[in-house]
Every structure is written in C-alpha cells, then in structure tokens.
Amino acid sequence: MDNLDLLTRLGVSLAIGLLFGIERGWNLRDHETEGRASGIRSFALAGLIGGVAAVLGQSLGVTLFGMVFLGFAAVFAAFQWRESAKGADLSVTSTLAGLLTFLLGGLAAGGDMQVAVAAAIVATALLALRGVLHAWIATLTAPEIRDGLILLAMAFLLLPLLPATTVDPWGLLNLREIWIMATMIAGVSFLGYVAVRALGPRWGILITAAAGGLASSTATTLSLARLARGTAPVRLLVAGMLIAGAVMLARVVVIASLLQSALLPLLGPPMLAGFASFLGLAIWMSRTAVAPDMPDLGIRSPLDLLGAVRMALLITAVILISGLVQRNFGSAGLYVVAAISGLADVDAITISTARMTADPHDLARAILIAVAANSASKAVLATWVGRPALGLRFVWPTLAGIAAGALVYAAL
C-alpha cells in the first residue's frame, strides 16, 4: 500500500479507538479520572497500536501481530484487574472493549476498513445501550426467551437441513426458500411484538398499532375493534387501524421488492398513494380524539414452532396453487387466487407471486388485488367485531385508500 493509503488506514484505526474511548469515557464520567485504568486516550492508542501491529505483521509475519496482541491483552487486563479490585467492580466489559479496539484497529489497517468501522459502530452502540438492554432483559418472560430461541433455531438449525432444490414434479416448491420466507415473516412478527413490549402502554394506541402492523395488520385491527365495545374512543381506534394498514402496505412493498426488484416501480406508486391516504386520515382522526389509558390489546408473542410450520404450509399451498393456476389459466386464474388468499393473509400470496417468472405487470396486479381484498375484509371484520359506529368510520377511509391506489396504478 502507498503512504496515503497507509495513513488513511492508521487514521481509521485511531478513529475506532476514539469511538470506543468516547463511549467508555462517557459511561464512566462519574468516576475519578485519575483512578481509571483506561479512558479516551488509552482506547485511542489501543486502536492505533492494533493498526501499527497489523501493518508490521504484513511485513514481518502474522506471528508478530499475535505476539503484540497477547502482550497488549496481558497489560490491559492487568490494569483493568487492578482498577476492578480498587473499586470492587467485577464487570469485564471495559477489558473486552479494549481487546476488541485493538483487533478492529488491526483489521482497519490490514484488512477491510468498512467491516472494521461497521463492527466498531455496532459494538459501541451495544456498550452505550447498557441501561436500555438491562432494563429490557429484566422485563423478559420465559415464553419470550423460548420464542427468541425458536426463531434462532428456525434460522440457523433447521434451515441448513432442508434441500436447496425443488422437490415437486412441477419444479415449484423449494423447501429451503419456503422456510426462509416463513422465518422472515416470523421474525418480522416477533420484532413487532418486541416493539409493543418495549414501547409500553403509555405511548398509546397509535404507536402500538404501528408496531402491531409489523406483526399482523389483521390481528391488530381485530384487537382494536374489540376495544370499541368498551370505553376507548372510536376515532382513535379507527386511526390505529389505518396506521396498521399503512404499515402493512409498506411491508408488502419491501417483501415483494426484495424478492423481485422489477416489482418496485409497479407497486411503489400505488402503495405509496394508499399509504399516504391511510396515514393522512389516521392523523386527521387522531387529532380530535382523546386518548384514554392504554388498554391491553391482548397481543401475545406470535412465535411458536407449530405456528411457523403452519405458515410454511400455507406458503407452500399458495405457491403450489398459484403456480399451477397461472400455468393452466394464465393471469386471470392468478388474480382469482390472489383475491381469495388476500381475504385472510397478504404475506403468503405476496411471497409466492413475487417469486414467479411471469410478466411483472401481472404479478403486480395480483399483489394489488390481494392487498385490496385484505383491506376490504378487515373493514368487514372490524364492523362485525366492533360497534357499528366503528365500522362506518373505518369503511370509508379503507375504500378511499383502495381507490387512491387504484387511480395511481391506472395512471402508470
């Protein structure tokens, strides 16, 4: 490497050390400065030493880098031990942060700078969020920990065991891809649930509805509709339902575009129009509504292995039926399947449709039909579950959002 590249890399190594040092210095700001074994200068030098060791290791052999690291680790840990003994602090976090600073400084100087910087940012974020993470962990229940482990098992244990090729005579069903889709939906649902738990009831119905829309806009709509039988204001409940629907539209666009990028310019504008309509009407309704104390929406952790299997089976059925119908009856048959599937769920039909190799315009129309059918079915269900006053206030904004999307799509 030339001198400019070398100086740039060493500068990044120093910057990584400064990043760690600023976070550690802020976190320990109430401690006596002279009594600390390491502060902003120590961490900055640790990153720079790691960078210099990596540069020297490229010329003199990688063994040198390992020896310098072991020496640094021994000295740094010894001083941290003395500081811990003095203050009766048994935390090992600063020691680990110092060792990671050295290694990331070396990676920046002798390897991939972007990876080193990204890892440094993630690590310092974890250090800075100490209080938030500890408070969150204290609120976890055993079922929630179980569900987190289930999600990890779905992603990293079961997935590698599934074949990566199609297993049916028509070449439609790839079990590994189906399980990836089920895991992705389960992960989004779990994140929505965690958002509800983390935000807490004091943030109100609207934020809860937005988080619930990540998990299931249909379930969130029904939960809010049940509250209409109590004392919760109808206008605020309708605003929450519209926000959940807007989040659903954004989720569909993201999922479909990730699976087939050609769908983004076809789905983006009409979905954006529906999103803007739902969100605008939700804001208008919520401005005049008085929020009560947040009632329990009854949202529970959505993850369980049986539920994931059911989702995988649903995706499999929709993929198989949609593929066979599209092959035998063309786009018209696909539209019928989309409308029927959308009455209950939009994720399965979105995923199965976005994976097809047909004309993107036909695929986009099928997804839009599914979304419209799902939105209409939620309006009907909300009217049935909640009070008639809620249904009347929810039906016309739903129709307005569908009409806005249809008009924009027709203009494309």
pLDDT of 281 higher than 80: yes
- For 355, half-sphere exposure in the C-beta direction (CA atoms, 13 angstrom radius) is 21
pLDDT at 37: 47
Separation between Cα atoms, residue 307 and residue 102, nearest integer Å = 44
pLDDT at 369: 93
Q: List C-alpha distances in Å: 67 to 10, 54, 73, 138, 294.
A: 20, 11, 10, 40, 59
pTM for this predicted structure: 0.56
Choose among 368, 161, 405, 135: nearest CA to 273.
405
pLDDT of 201 higher than 50: no
Choose among 232, 226, 251: nearest CA to 345.
251
Separation between Cα atoms, residue 242 and residue 392, nearest integer Å = 13
Separation between Cα atoms, residue 24 and residue 340, nearest integer Å = 56
pLDDT at 17: 92
Choose among 402, 410, 400, 351: nearest CA to 373.
402
Of 53 and 203, the structure prediction assigns the larger pLDDT to: 53
Report helix, strand or coil for 85: helix
**CA 194 remoteness from chain centre:** 10
Report helix, strand or coil for 342: helix
Separation between Cα atoms, residue 104 and residue 115, nearest integer Å = 9
Separation between Cα atoms, residue 352 and residue 85, nearest integer Å = 60
249 C-beta neighbours (distance < 10 Å), count: 27
Which amino acid would we find at residue 177? E
Separation between Cα atoms, residue 36 and residue 102, nearest integer Å = 19
Lowest mean pLDDT among 19-28, 37-46, 203-212, 237-246: 203-212
**CA 37 remoteness from chain centre:** 38
The total number of residues written for the chain in this structure: 412
Q: What is the mean pLDDT of the chain?
A: 80
- For 301, half-sphere exposure in the C-beta direction (CA atoms, 13 angstrom radius) is 17
Separation between Cα atoms, residue 328 and residue 209, nearest integer Å = 40
Report helix, strand or coil for 200: coil
Contact in structure between 238 and 274 (CB atoms under 8 Å): no
- The 10s digit of each residue's pLDDT in 247-280 is 999 989 998 998 899 999 999 999 999 999 999 9
Contact in structure between 183 and 160 (CB atoms under 8 Å): no
Share of the chain above pLDDT 70, in %: 78
- The 10s digit of each residue's pLDDT in 63-82 is 889 999 999 989 888 877 77
pLDDT of 33 higher than 70: no
